[in-house]
């Protein structure tokens, strides 16, 4: 029975906390907030089950570049077109020394069954050419901030969004993009970004808007004009602007 406490002449019931029990209301949905994972951070290592067996991420990546991309669910239309497109682009990723790995909240058996639909849609013969991580517990999805609170399964648990992480051979995060479930990714654009990341990792240039491999690049601001002339064959072109500041300096793609 609750104790009775008198306040200003009025008797009011007060519940005694130690006599109460907390009822288990079932599993709580995982948090959906983005952890602190910044560009330049070492991408966390992890062990996971995949369609190609258990992997440890850093060992699997080795000395290559990597792209980890999540999708909301197996046997769904947009996801099938996306993974099908990546399957078609495997030769382009391989040419760039990039390994691919996908992830969703479905289990391994679901992934394996769905892979047949993906390769059939893509018109590619043989097995799926890259692994898919199973994350039914959402442990990795929470760790990497890949959950979409607006997309839920039948049990009310959030599904993975369309995340893209590009990781360098040094295991550092080079790029991160999050897309909602309703927007399919453009993997030709992701190849373009990889070209830029790989070029600018080794050459003292930046790539301007809409840049594609072979286009002119920009001299980085930390190089003086004399240093740029010495470094780049053919020198550079400076674009004059009203401010008079000579910061728009174009040079040929140094990878050519």
170 is catalytic: yes
Q: What does the block give as tokens for 56?
A: 């440890």
Nearest to 82 by CA among 92, 95, 69, 91: 69
Of the residues 139, 170, 188, 225, only one is catalytic, namely 170
The angle at the Cα of 34, spanning 28 to 39, to the nearest 5 degrees, equals 155
Q: What does the block give as tokens for 142?
A: 């929470």
Exposed/middle/buried for residue 115 (C-beta within 10 Å: 0-12, 13-18, 19+): buried
120 is catalytic: no
Q: How far is CA 101 from the centre of its chain?
A: 11
Q: How far is CA 88 from the centre of its chain?
A: 20
3-state class of 239 per DSSP?
strand
Determine phi and psi for 207, rounding to 5 degrees: -110, 130
Nearest to 148 by CA among 156, 157, 158, 137: 158
Give catalytic residues, as residue numbers.
79, 170
């Amino acid at each position: 029975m609750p104790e009775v406490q008198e306040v200003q002449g009025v008797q009011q019931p007060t519940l005694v906390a130690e006599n109460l029990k907390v009822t288990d209301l079932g599993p709580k949905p995982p948090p959906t907030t983005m952890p602190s994972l910044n560009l330049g951070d070492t991408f966390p290592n992890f062990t996971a089950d995949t369609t190609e067996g258990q992997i440890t991420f850093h060992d699997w990546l080795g000395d290559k570049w990597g792209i980890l991309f999540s999708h909301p669910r197996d046997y769904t239309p947009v996801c099938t077109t996306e993974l099908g497109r990546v399957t078609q682009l495997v030769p382009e990723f391989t040419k760039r020394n990039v390994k691919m790995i996908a992830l969703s909240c479905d289990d391994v058996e679901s992934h394996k069954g769905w892979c047949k639909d993906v390769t059939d849609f893509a018109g590619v013969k043989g097995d799926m050419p890259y692994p898919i991580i199973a994350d039914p517990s959402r442990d990795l999805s929470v760790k990497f901030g890949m959950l979409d609170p607006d997309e839920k399964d039948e049990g009310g648990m959030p599904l993975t969004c369309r995340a893209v992480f590009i990781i360098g051979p040094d295991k550092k995060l080079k790029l991160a993009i999050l897309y909602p479930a309703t927007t399919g990714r453009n993997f030709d654009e992701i190849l373009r970004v990889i070209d830029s990341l790989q070029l600018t990792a080794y050459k003292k240039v930046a790539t301007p808007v809409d840049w594609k491999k072979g286009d002119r690049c920009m001299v980085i601001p930390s190089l003086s004009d004399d240093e740029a002339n010495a470094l780049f064959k053919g020198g550079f072109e400076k674009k004059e602007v009203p401010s008079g500041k000579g910061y728009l300096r174009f040079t040929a793609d140094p990878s050519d």
